[in-house]
Amino acid sequence: VKQLGTHRSIHTIQCIKKDALLTDALTRMNDDDFRFRHFLVTHDGKVGGKLEGIIGYRNILKKEKDPTESFDDLTVEDAMRSFAAGKFPKPTFVHLHETDSLQTALGEFTLRLNKEVGIELNYFYMSAIPIVDQDHRATGIITFKDVVGAMVRGEIPIPNTTVGAIMRKGEHVRVTPPTETPRKAKHKMLQLGQRDVVVVDNEQDRTFLGMVSDNERIVHSHLDIPVEDIMISHHDFEVEEFCLTSETTVAEMLSKYILTDYSKTFYDLPVISYRPNGRPHFEGLVGYRDVFLELARSNAVVYYQDVAP
């Protein structure tokens, strides 16, 4: 995994101490030259320090937009996902060792993690995973887009199937009417680990109206506004060719996942069909986890071609 992700032997790794202010972390992330959305949290704030956790842009954003918090006084420790190997009976954090295979990484990306200790129904998945050496010193990070990018470049096999065969649908996806608030939409999705809000006219008809990205939902989560005011409309998705049909191949889907502007915003892509009257019907969601799970189900040989730095 160290050859596929961002490893200190090849790239610069961004680390931070847990007592650093969140305002400082956000300033660093907003710098034009900063190309990462995550910090590795180490005991000394340096690469090679003992791993203590990871913090992403969305973790900081949630604290910044929470009116009950005094953001200027908060530290990284208040928002980070903490690393505590073996401390809890159920997984709340994952990491990879430098010698782990890509197959192992795929398993960790699709592992359901508890949102909070003691709460079983609310969970999430890590989209960026720290890499450590045998002494649990932070040496790198791998994101799901590192893996997807390698697939698009032909370095990792792509499942030879359609998105209709692997998408989440029915009870595995939560949809939201246009008048619902971001906060209510969030609570509907907690039990599924779903991040993007799917907006439909109603739950029975499921005419697809648009989607609200995870970041936009967080920014507006404390405002009493309808999701239709902040969603990207179906029309805009069509202009960007971001909508899929059940017949779209996984290879085509991954290209859109990497190459479109919306790929920087959404974790999942909508799968729709068109009724005779031309109205778009929401069929399901598909994202990187579904592709990774299909690789595991098909017992595909997962490999990564060594590329000289």
- Average pLDDT on 60-65 reads 93
Q: Which of 47-51, 119-123, 302-306 has the lowest mean pLDDT?
A: 302-306
What is the Cα–Cα distance from 12 to 145, expressed in whole angstroms? 18
Write out pLDDT tens, residues 86-109.
555 556 788 999 999 888 999 899
Which one of 125, 152, 179 terminates a domain?
152
Segments forming the whole domain that contains residue 287: 163-294
Domain total of the chain: 2
- Quick one: 112 and 186 in the same domain? no
Say yes or no to pLDDT of 14 above 50.
Answer: yes
- pLDDT for 306: 42
Write out pLDDT tens, residues 139-176.
999 999 889 988 988 888 899 999 999 999 988 999 99
**Conformational region of residue 194, where left means phi above 0, alpha means psi within -120 to 50, and beta covers everything else:** beta
- pLDDT for 89: 54
Task: Supply the pTM of this predicted model.
Answer: 0.86
Give me the CATH number covering residue 103. 3.10.580.10
Identify whether 214 is part of a domain.
Answer: yes
Write out pLDDT tens, residues 169-211.
988 999 999 999 999 998 888 778 899 999 999 888 899 999 9
- pLDDT for 303: 46
Identify whether 309 is part of a domain.
Answer: no
> CA angle, corner 41, sides to 49 and 38, nearest 5?
125
Write out pLDDT tens, residues 255-266.
887 777 776 788
> Are residues 43 and 63 in contact, defined by beta-carbon separation less than 8 angstroms?
no
Cα dihedral 284, 294, 186, 256 in deg (nearest 10): -70
Q: What is the DSSP letter of 21?
A: B
What is the Cα–Cα distance from 138 to 166, expressed in whole angstroms? 34
- Average pLDDT on 70-96 reads 81
Find, among 104, 245, 226, the residue nearest to 177 by Cα: 226
- Quick one: 11 and 136 in the same domain? yes
State the alpha helices, DSSP H only, in 3-143.
22-30, 57-64, 102-109
Which one of 133, 152, 171 terminates a domain?
152
Which one of 130, 152, 174 terminates a domain?
152
- Quick one: 105 and 171 in the same domain? no
Q: Which pairs with CB-CB distance under 8 Å and at least 24 residues apart come from 100-103?
A: 100/1, 101/1, 101/302, 102/1, 102/4, 102/147, 102/156, 102/302, 102/303, 102/304, 103/296, 103/302
- Quick one: 231 and 127 in the same domain? no
> Are residues 56 and 38 in contact, defined by beta-carbon separation less than 8 angstroms?
yes
Write out pLDDT tens, residues 218-235.
999 889 999 999 999 999
